[in-house]
Amino acid sequence: MNLRRLPLDKHKGLSAYKLYSSKLQIQAHDCFHRSSTCVNGHSNWIILNPSGLLKGQGFFVAVSVEKGGNLADFGGKDLVWPSPSDEIPFWKKEFPSWDVSPKVPIEVNKDNEFMHIIHVTAELAPIAKVGGLGDVVTGLARACLSRGHRVGVMLPFYECILKEQINDLTLITSYDSYHDGIWIPTNAYCGVVSGVTIILIEPSNQFFKGQSVYGGSYNELEAYLFFSRACLEWMQVTGTQPDIIHVHEWQTGALSLLYWDMYHYLSLKKPRIVLTIHNMEHFGECSKEQLSKCGLEGSVYASIDRAVDDRTVNHNPERLSLLKGGIVYSNAVVTVSPTYLKETLCSGWLSSTLIRNRDKYIGILNGIDTTIWNPASDVFLPAKFHAQNFEGKKLCKYYVQRGLGLATDDHVADMTLKVPLVVCITRLVAQKGLHLIIQAMKHVEKLGGQMIVLGKSTDGEVEREFEGLANLHNQGRSIRILLIYSEELSHILYAAADMVLVPSMYEPCGLAQMIGMRYGAIPVVRKTGGLADTVFDLDDQPNHEMANGFVFEGIDEVSLNWAMDRAFAYFRDKPDKWNRIVKKVMEIDNSWNNTAGKYVEVYDSVRTRW
Ligand code: ADP
């Protein structure tokens, strides 16, 4: 089925589509359920309401497509099929809106007591996103807004942020914030992104300049120390006293120290601090002298019960960890899945600190924003679909296969669609199981499937290795390696994929498997961290109710191959069962509706009541 969205959306809450298909059958029932009508071989204007049911004037319509249709014919009339030789690649063309969801859903039950929450973060999707951190802050902020809370997000005004992506951008405060013996003139801007109010902190020095969120030519650690203090300074200058300051990762760990040892003695009395650890591998290594640059006395924190890196005790010099300081000084510490919580209590040098702080350490599984990640309304997709009818997914798959040269123009769509398509969308870092990603490409090719890797690396050696692989494979008909970051392409690939591969060595939570499922891609994952909490093996009989993917445990090729073999066998030999699983995974609720409430409970348990 090919549904083309109309440029004008006249009906509030309804989307208008033009529908083309020679194989299409429409069954229409009027409001009294009196009759049904069949239309064949016509072009019709139809309206799709948010629940995915088709609605015509006076009719509720269910659409089905005859089996055996050739998708190449379906969109032929209107959809322009992409090709690898296109001057503008299909994921860079103009889309109706860059902000996938400018409004926050309102039809959510409100909490009884409202709080004011300010997130302080290094990333925010989509304007400053590198990985899951950006998605999580945007998703959680929107979920809490929907529940009736007042939510703001503070982040650095990176030079690379595109101003046109921010609604109502306005300079609101010019003030000075301390760094290394001087007060730096600083601007705070207010704006709105995906329905969330943001405050961007822009110092007048070189901090946060450059073409990417991380890796500029300034000292990153010092820049985030400055940012942590500048956020508190802004709250003090403007008299802003939220109930909760929610900090994320090592970058904002020093804010807890600054709050309790400085600003709480000045004018900020009300806020309490919640820290979320998204990945314990990055712990913000810092010297005492560097910490002193934000105005604290660095040596005060060089003890086991404060911020010293336990591994460096009695070394010369000892080092500090901003993440450890954050754990000690925050009122509550959250990590992003129950299994990662257990893993971090058992291994890693921070485990002793976490054990000492066990009573305030909690595991809350991340959610995904199901309005932003919604295949039924995603502006980047060539065809929309949902769990009740995912014919559009086939069109997305064929669209990608054509666009990346994985199908010849004269290939029949039906044949091409029978080739299983695996996608892997990830930062290319060791944590993500690079050797298994490479092995998967070999194995998928051997099994006669297709695989697309969308990944970005900041490590020159990894970049070169994958560039070599791209040169080797990108001309053939099985593998595509795209070494870029593209939000648009990621949406299209999730929609196109039959399987989403996440073979991580460790994974605090992982969003790729949840997003993949939302778009009907069956996850193939290694059993670790949040992957173990969200994906359950289809061949695990006792756990049949939960079963939704393919899971392997080892870090070797044999373990991965075994999972891929099983996934391919299901896809090829049991198509009806496969379709049932696709429907099942699309219906799994991994939304923030499920887990934001747990954050609200944490906020509520630490906030002051006056
Ligand atoms: P991590 O936070 O460790 O990077 P997650 O799975 O939690 O991993 O989240 C990754 C997020 O970043 C997902 O939204 C994924 O789609 C996105 N992503 C990763 N790499 C890319 C890329 N090259 N282009 C676009 N999006 C990407």
pLDDT at site 27: 34
Q: How far apart are CA 87 and CA 301, in angstroms?
A: 56
Task: Calculate how far, in angstroms, residue 90's C-alpha sits from the geometric centre of ligand 1.
Answer: 20
Q: What are residue 63's phi and psi, to 5 degrees?
A: -110, 135
pLDDT confidence tier of residue 56, bands split at 50, 70 and 90: very low
Residues pairing with 120 in the sheet: 154, 247
Evaluate if residue 192 carries a pLDDT over 60: yes
pLDDT at site 213: 97
Q: pLDDT above 90 covers what percent of the chain?
A: 80
Evaluate if residue 214 carries a pLDDT over 50: yes
Q: Which atom of ligand 1 is nearest to the CA of 513?
A: 6
Side-chain half-sphere exposure of 527, counting CA atoms within 13 A: 10
Whether 504 is in the pocket of ligand 1, judged by its Cβ within 6 Å, is no
pLDDT at site 115: 98
Q: 419: helix, coil or strand?
A: coil
Question: Residue with the nearest Cα to atom 9 of ligand 1?
Answer: 132
pLDDT at site 416: 83
Q: Which atom of ligand 1 is nearest to the CA of 432?
A: 3
Mutation to probe ligand 1, out of 121, 490, 535 (largest number of atoms < 8 A from CB) = 490
Q: How far apart are CA 400 and CA 205, in angstroms?
A: 44
pLDDT at site 9: 32
pLDDT digits (tens, 9 = 90+) for 451-470: 999 999 999 999 999 999 99
Whether 131 is in the pocket of ligand 1, judged by its Cβ within 6 Å, is yes
Whether 135 is in the pocket of ligand 1, judged by its Cβ within 6 Å, is yes
pLDDT at site 14: 31
Whether 427 is in the pocket of ligand 1, judged by its Cβ within 6 Å, is yes
Tell me the two tokens of residue 27.
């069954």
Question: Residue with the nearest Cα to atom 26 of ligand 1?
Answer: 487
Task: Calculate how far, in angstroms, residue 105's C-alpha sits from the geometric centre of ligand 1.
Answer: 24
Evaluate if residue 426 carries a pLDDT over 90: yes
Q: In terms of DSSP H, where are the helices of 308-450? A: 322-329, 338-346, 351-356, 391-403, 413-417, 434-446
Which residues are CB-contacts of 101 (< 8 A; sequence separation ≥ 6)?
Answer: 142, 194, 195, 369, 371, 372
Residue range 83-95: mean pLDDT, rounded: 94
Task: Calculate how far, in angstroms, residue 226's C-alpha sits from the geometric centre of ligand 1.
Answer: 27
SS3 content of the chain, % helix, strand, coil (to 5): 35, 25, 40
Q: What angle do CA 126, 127, 131 make, to 5 degrees?
A: 55
Asked if 385 contacts 378 with a C-beta cutoff of 8 angstroms, the reply is: no
Task: Return the C-alpha torsion angle 557, 560, 562, 566, nearest 10.
Answer: -150
Q: How far apart are CA 112 and CA 126, in angstroms?
A: 30
Task: Calculate how far, in angstroms, residue 216's C-alpha sits from the geometric centre of ligand 1.
Answer: 20
Tell me which amino acid residue 468 is.
Answer: G
Higher pLDDT, 366 or 59: 366
pLDDT at site 413: 81
pLDDT at site 33: 29
CA-based nearest residue to 204, from 240, 239, 171: 171
Which residues are CB-contacts of 226 (< 8 A; sequence separation ≥ 6)?
Answer: 177, 179, 184, 203, 207, 293, 294
Task: Calculate how far, in angstroms, residue 130's C-alpha sits from the geometric centre of ligand 1.
Answer: 7
Whether 488 is in the pocket of ligand 1, judged by its Cβ within 6 Å, is no
Q: How far apart are CA 128 and CA 5, in angstroms?
A: 29
Q: Which atom of ligand 1 is nearest to the CA of 366?
A: 7
Q: Which atom of ligand 1 is nearest to the CA of 125?
A: 14
Evaluate if residue 262 carries a pLDDT over 70: yes
Whether 505 is in the pocket of ligand 1, judged by its Cβ within 6 Å, is no
Asked if 531 contacts 431 with a C-beta cutoff of 8 angstroms, the reply is: no
Task: Calculate how far, in angstroms, residue 208's C-alpha sits from the geometric centre of ligand 1.
Answer: 22
Higher pLDDT, 108 or 302: 302
Task: Calculate how far, in angstroms, residue 426's C-alpha sits from the geometric centre of ligand 1.
Answer: 5
pLDDT confidence tier of residue 410, bands split at 50, 70 and 90: low
Task: Calculate how far, in angstroms, residue 131's C-alpha sits from the geometric centre of ligand 1.
Answer: 4
Whether 486 is in the pocket of ligand 1, judged by its Cβ within 6 Å, is yes
